[in-house]
Amino acid sequence: MSSDDRFKHESLQDQESIVSYLQALCDGFQSGALLFASDNQRLVLKPQGLVALEVEAKKKNNEIKLGIKIRWTEEPNGEELTMKPLVITSVDQDQ
């Protein structure tokens, strides 16, 4: 992959579509390859080794933001990240 390979997409989606995209990400990590495509853009990524995960959730007034960043390198590097426990679960809407 050259240093300028990039994919970016932004749109409004319903919850069912979001679930489908998240499931496709899960499937891609399990199979070892992720394909991103939209209009004339296309990018294939192949996750390997340890993967850094960053999750950020914010609620400010009526605006909600959920950010998920996942990164890895194609070659092993000396990045010093520690494995920390993380809990993400669904809850009843009444809670």
pTM: 0.76
Q: Which tokens go with 12?
A: 């409004």
The pLDDT profile of the chain, 95 residues, written as one tens digit per residue, is: 445 689 999 999 999 999 999 999 999 999 999 999 998 889 999 998 889 999 999 999 999 999 999 999 877 665 666 777 888 778 887 66
60: enclosing H helix or E strand? strand 52-60
- The residue behind tokens 């990590």 is 29
